[in-house]
Structure 1
């Protein structure tokens, strides 16, 4: 029985591995562009990338930003957003909505160059991969 304790410890550490986030399942393979929210096309410039250790970087129509996403796949939790907004930008409302929508998402599904974020209320954000991040 004493021989099993180190094995249990190893299994517990593996369960907390940050590589179990969406990056392990293809989220880090692309920079992503939001193309649709709740069935409506998106017409503002945007990009989001997911890196190692929960890092998130991107561009909205008015700023570049960073955030974190530590939830294990298929869960999604966009938080700790920071960035600098351009002083004069005609799309601040779109950007504010973009960040609010990302914060509402709870589930991520990745299939090759397609990513869908959704929540229990039935909302969806559809992204396409635009570059190879690897």
Structure 2
């Protein structure tokens, strides 16, 4: 019983460590562009950046959004907020799918200027670093 309690406490402490998010593992080093979803090229403009304390900011051809991503690396769980704005145009089908796909991803891997989001169903989103995020 003591071992179970100790193990549970260690898991809670590790899960709460803000330094163990994808930013620590290179996710904050770049502003990222989605280039491929499930093997298909992405044709709309987009950017996403991961900042301190789990902050996420992004843009699309006519959207701006903020979100949270506080899951410990390598887990990915985006919390899209209600302030997705499209001031002068309507969301395209691709953008709606983009937000749905982001919410569907569960695991993140960052390797230099490459970032891949995946889920247990075998889906994949591939991003490349386009600018220095620091």
Same fold judged by TM-score > 0.5? yes
Q: TM-score, normalised by structure 1?
A: 0.86
Q: What count of residue pairs does the alignment treat as equivalent?
A: 125
Q: Residue 130 of structure 1 aligns to a residue in which SS?
A: strand
Flag the 1:51–1:97 CA change in 2: closer, same or farther, 3 A.
same
Alpha-carbon distance in 2 for matches of 1:10, 1:40:
41
Gaps of 5+ in 1: 1-8
Q: Residue 24 of structure 1 aligns to a residue in which SS?
A: helix
Q: Which moved more, 1:73-82 or 1:41-50?
A: 73-82
The yes-or-no answer on 1:85 pairing with 2:83 is no
Gaps of 5+ in 2: 1-8
Match of 1:114 in 2: 114
Flag the 1:78–1:14 CA change in 2: closer, same or farther, 3 A.
closer
**Between Structure 1 and Structure 2, whose CA radius of gyration is higher?**
1
Q: Residue 84 of structure 1 aligns to a residue in which SS?
A: coil
What is the root-mean-square deviation of aligned Cα atoms in Å?
1.9
Q: Which moved more, 1:79-88 or 1:69-78?
A: 79-88
1:12 deviates by 6.0
Flag the 1:14–1:37 CA change in 2: closer, same or farther, 3 A.
closer
After superposing on structure 2, the runs of 4+ consecutive aligned residues of structure 1 that deviate more than 3 Å are 9-15
